Amino acid sequence: MTYGGGPGYPAGGAPSAGAPRVAAGVLVGVSLWRLVIVAFAFTGFGAAVSEMNSPWQGLSQQASLLTGVIYLGLLLYPLFTQGRRHEPNSPWLRGATSVLLLLVGVTFLTIMEGDLDETWSLFEHLLTPLAVLVDWAAVGRNQANVRWWHPLTWVVFPLAYLLYFLAASVSLYGGFLDPDDSGFAVTVLVFLLAVVGAGYLLYGVAKIKSVAAGGNRPQPPVGWGGPPYPAQYPQQGHPQQQYQQQPVAGGYPMP
């Protein structure tokens, strides 16, 4: 798998012992941005826990906690690669998190007609989703490796919450999401299709960014010295030149 390179980023696949490190300025900038995301996510979650009666049942709170944990892992990732990578090759977790926060923010501000007056709501429904979207669109690099089928699997987080919602009989959403309503299955299907659609929107953003950055071109492995000289190997359709031997005195041929 080709790693989407760029200025300050090494090309190639998984880091090896001799692979070059990411430029210090790039590493610091990406780490600081992801520290901001971690701070936003945990601030929103912490404010909800301190201000709400049952904060653990809401998708907004669970999504913020999950985002904080994931981006804390990404923040610490360069420590495990000795600075040779600032994130894994696969963008799956970042994409799934971005789609989940899009679902949370857009649903809360539109269908549920929520507001941003409270600290927890401001961070959980606006600041954290925006920060994660900026990370996907402009900060990270592994989204160049996104696969066409990734958006189909990014529904896993909403589906996991749906199972919890049904098992725990969560009643936070009133008639908007009521399992006893005859239209409940249709509502869930529409939401899942919207999540897949948002995923393919992020997929398109990643591919456009990759093409603009030249990430669609194959990257040679680190330490690759270039192709062999043409004379080393015969080309297809052109027989290799045979050298004639000239006899010399004493019966020994000369090449």
pLDDT of residue 220: 45
Q: What is the DSSP letter of 231?
A: G
Alpha-carbon gap, residue 20 to 22, rounded angstroms: 7
**Is residue 225 pLDDT above 60, yes or no?**
no
**Is residue 32 pLDDT above 80, yes or no?**
yes
Q: Is the dihedral of CA 34, 36, 41, 42 positive or negative?
A: positive
Render pLDDT for 108-156 as a digit per residue (tens, 0 to 9): 999 999 999 999 999 999 999 999 999 999 999 999 999 999 999 999 9
Higher pLDDT, 198 or 241: 198
Mean pLDDT computed over every residue of the chain: 84
> Coil, helix or strand for 120?
helix
User: pLDDT band at 213, cuts 50/70/90?
Assistant: confident
pLDDT of residue 237: 53
In the chain, where the domains are located: 24-214
Amino acid (one-letter) located at 94: R
What is the DSSP pairing of strand 246-247 with strand 253-254? antiparallel
Of 7, 24, 5, 22, the residue nearest 221 (C-alpha): 5
Helix axes 59-80, 156-167, angle to 10 degrees: 140
pTM (2 decimals)? 0.78
| CA distances to 103, 104, 105, 158, 174 from 112, in Å | 12, 10, 10, 17, 10
Read off the tokens for 50: 């301190």
Angle at 222 between CA 218 and CA 227, to 5 degrees: 65
Render pLDDT for 38-88 as a digit per residue (tens, 0 to 9): 999 999 999 999 998 888 899 999 999 999 999 999 999 999 998 888 899
Alpha-carbon gap, residue 5 to 222, rounded angstroms: 12
pLDDT of residue 17: 53
Q: What is the DSSP letter of 21?
A: P
Higher pLDDT, 12 or 44: 44
> Coil, helix or strand for 247?
strand
Alpha-carbon gap, residue 192 to 81, rounded angstroms: 36
Give the range among 19-23, 138-142, 170-174 with minimum mean pLDDT.
Answer: 19-23
